[in-house]
Amino acid sequence: MKFDVYGRFALEVLHTTRGWEVYRLTDGKQVRADDIIIPADMEVGDIAEYLDDLLHELSRPGDR
């Protein structure tokens, strides 16, 4: 799953045998975002809201 984080950067979230892995997408490359941890038991449908809760400080008024 790919997420645009308030127009500032993009994230890709992958589910692997180790759980959820988060990568920052930059210039066609994936760089592991070790500072963003998604609990292994989180449901797919809850990830967007979780990222919004985690990264909301980066938003501008009206961003979602």
- DSSP letters, the chain, are -EEEETTTEEEEEEEETTEEEEEEEETTEEEE-TT----TT--GGGHHHHHHHHHGGG--TT--
Name, in order, each residue with C-beta under 8 angstroms of 55's C-beta and a sequence gap of 6 or more: 5, 6, 36
pTM of the model: 0.85
pLDDT tens digits, one per residue of 20-56? 999 999 888 999 999 999 999 999 999 999 999 999 8
**Stretch 3-23: mean pLDDT:** 95
pLDDT tens digits, one per residue of 46-59? 999 999 999 988 88
Backbone angles phi, psi at 14, to 5 degrees: -120, 145
